[in-house]
Structure 1
């Protein structure tokens, strides 16, 4: 799910090359994703961009967490900061991929997601070990680690 058709097409092609899955739907934003899920049924993996109009990735992760608990959402973004990584993990994301990812790395990330339920990139590992400090960091970290 990405608001840029060119980016979506590129990732669709990469996912179609992955031998362990099938593209069920694509969407330009979270609201369109929700509507298409009604038609398609349960989704195993959702690749979610953070910055989209109408319903962004943050809200889409909340929606998936509330309405599609079994769906494994993995975030795709240029905006990979420790703070963003921490926040998307708190919202239920199972990993965080850079938009610059190449097909073999994407396929390996999806394989790990299917095998373990999570994609542990170096950034995700770093953030889980040393979360960004704020008032609720300790409680949030405990909740995140409990999910794992």
Structure 2
């Protein structure tokens, strides 16, 4: 039985090409291709077949990816959603993850990695890039009691959309001291990016978001 996929992307050429790729994969089938979040809401309200995974772009007209994730969080919080986008902005990615997105993919992803990402979400609930997987692999035993109170405060703020400068102001610390906290946390988690830290925190419930 094929896994059902719903594509939500306003770039017609890309979305149709993506549909062709997914339908060529064994055990996967595209239910429909929608242009924005409003079309997705209409799809769900029409009681059509619910997908196993929604592939969701972020930058779309009418109702974008963030607004769509807000709707999912309120109406279908268990729906597995993968962001598939050209969006690189850390704050946007963090916001998507906090709203319940199970992972994010860039549109230049290798087809084999793309299939692996979908299979991973279906099996374990989340997708991690190789870099983020390394964070999880080396950090499974790290829980709240392995962070200092100040580190936990910093970790909570890292999982917000605040910039590092804003975090420094919130913690009444200098930007240089915040840089030190960041490097210390990255080293402790064997992480290379802020997004990796956020995914780790969500997966291991180190912070409540």
Q: 1:32 aligns with which of 35, 39, 62?
A: 39
For residue 99 of structure 1, report the CA deviation from its aligned partner. 0.8
| Aligned counterpart, 1:75 | 83
| Aligned counterpart, 2:56 | 48
| Aligned counterpart, 1:84 | 92
Question: TM-score scaled by structure 1?
Answer: 0.82
Instruction: Report how many aligned residue pairs link the two structures.
Output: 144
Question: TM-score scaled by structure 2?
Answer: 0.60
Alignment partners' CA distance in 1, 2:111 and 2:81: 18
The worse-fitting range, judged by mean Cα deviation, of 8-17 and 77-86 is 77-86
* 8 Å Cα contact 1:74/1:93 also seen in 2: yes
Q: CA RMSD in A?
A: 2.9
Alignment partners' CA distance in 1, 2:38 and 2:45: 11
Q: Does 1:95 align with 2:153?
A: no
Q: Which has the higher contact order (CA 8 A, sep 6+)?
A: 1
* 8 Å Cα contact 2:94/2:160 also seen in 1: no
Instruction: Summarize the Cα distance change of 1:30–1:135 in structure 2 as closer, same or farther, 3 Å threshold.
Output: same
Unaligned runs of 5+ residues in structure 2 are: 1-7, 140-153, 162-197
Instruction: Summarize the Cα distance change of 1:118–1:89 in structure 2 as closer, same or farther, 3 Å threshold.
Output: same
| Aligned counterpart, 1:21 | 28
Which structure has the larger Rg? Answer: 2
Q: Does 1:119 align with 2:127?
A: yes
The worse-fitting range, judged by mean Cα deviation, of 74-83 and 118-127 is 118-127
Q: 1:6 aligns with which of 9, 13, 29?
A: 13
| Aligned counterpart, 2:74 | 66
Alignment partners' CA distance in 1, 2:17 and 2:134: 28
The worse-fitting range, judged by mean Cα deviation, of 51-60 and 39-48 is 39-48
Unaligned runs of 5+ residues in structure 1 are: none
The worse-fitting range, judged by mean Cα deviation, of 133-142 and 82-91 is 133-142
For residue 22 of structure 1, report the CA deviation from its aligned partner. 1.8
* 8 Å Cα contact 1:25/1:36 also seen in 2: no
Instruction: Summarize the Cα distance change of 1:138–1:82 in structure 2 as closer, same or farther, 3 Å threshold.
Output: closer
* 8 Å Cα contact 1:30/1:57 also seen in 2: yes
